[in-house]
A = this chain, B = another copy of it.
């Protein structure tokens, strides 16, 4: 019966069997060390028998082995215990030398080499740690939002028309006709508010993003939520705050080892996220009051303001100009130049966009016509059907998983925390 490496320290004096990858071998004069890696971490196996030392010499790093031996206390070993008097049984043929030295704490290879060799590079504890944070965040997202009575949905990724605009959309051959990859589940999640009131979806979204930047991917994981019977976007922000808090808590509890390895502390999100109106944000940043958007420098200034004035690493900017928001955005009732939408900034960078949507059919017709589009267009037919037949005031948000994790872990490039990134230049592995 196999035990995990992390269970070794509590088995001192017993004979145990562990299994995993040969992470590292060190041969000294009289003794060899085998560092074994499994999903729970590392362990140390001490080999003194000459024939086992010779056996180990033949088993290159990454060979999968099973080790049976006696657990002995040793304060110098990981966890304070090691395996001695061991019998090593290979579970596969000897592995070839990995393209990246996985046992070195620091990754010597550059990002392109790491990404080209992802099937093996992801085994490096520090690279793997990024995804451990992502997996924990996914768990926290679902657990929190499920607790709020949201229903999970899974909506199609192949669509008949471009979701929000014709730009940056991937086209495909669908049984001889044209189709597209969904840029977001926006229309579907709104539609499903008519069915379940509160819905969420975790799934891939696709952007034929022609820019090669550290924050854009051609395919990423979107954590979408949408819900009805709200007063305005502030209700959306309140749910988002709780969801982010749940994600952070799950990262702290489920990926503690990964955080240690990465030297990252989970930030605090205040119960009430500070909110600043877009117009005030421009003034605060010293920007032109007619600017329709915030520059990266403006966002940093607002982040600093929130930290200084409210002790918060998070801040929401509400009221973004309607001209910069999609047609389904609900205007600010007191002044329709502004919108009932917001960006949540974390450490001075945009993390999540959310807001209230239009809910009246007549408002959709007017909004589309004002943008020179026809409500009768195939792109809108099924979407508008939901509004024709009664929809409550509603809103929602979308969290980009990879960007969230990159911000949290301080990764400079979103690709560092993506399992197999897709971009302008990268389609494999």
Contact = CB atoms under 8 A, between A and B. Distances in A.
A154 B38 contact: no
Contacts of A192: 122, 419
A388 B194 contact: no
Contacts of A128: 195-196
A203 interface: yes
Given A64-B391, A173-B170, A427-B158, A198 B39 contact: yes
Given A160-B428, A172-B172, A195-B128, A153 B419 contact: yes
* Identical chains in the assembly: 2
A75 to B, nearest CB: 28
Interface string A412-427: 0000000111101001
Contact of A422 (B139, B156, B427): B156
A158 B95 contact: no
A390 interface: yes
Contact of A157 (B21, B38, B204): B204
Q: Among A19, A171, A204, find the residue whose CB has the most chain B CB atoms closer than 10 A.
A: A204
Interface string A392-429: 11000000010000000000000000011110100111
A206 interface: yes
Q: Among A64, A151, A195, find the residue whose CB has the most chain B CB atoms closer than 10 A.
A: A195
B132 A151 contact: yes
A385 interface: yes
Interface string A362-403: 100000000000000010011101101111110000000100
A365 B93 CA distance: 13
A237 to B, nearest CB: 19
Interface residues of A, number: 94
Interface string A123-160: 10000100110110011001000100101111111111
A62 interface: yes
B188 A181 contact: no
A120 B62 contact: no
Contacts of A152: 135, 138-139
Interface in A334-373: 359-362
A91 interface: yes
Given A138-B152, A152-B139, A192-B419, A382 B229 contact: no
A179 interface: yes
Given A117-B385, A172-B173, A204-B203, A219 B393 contact: no
Task: Report the 10 A-B pairs with minimum CB-CB distance, sorted nearest first.
Answer: A382-B429, A95-B390, A172-B172, A62-B390, A39-B197, A160-B427, A119-B386, A160-B428, A62-B389, A64-B392
6 contacts: A64-B392, A122-B194, A154-B221, A156-B204, A158-B206, A170-B172
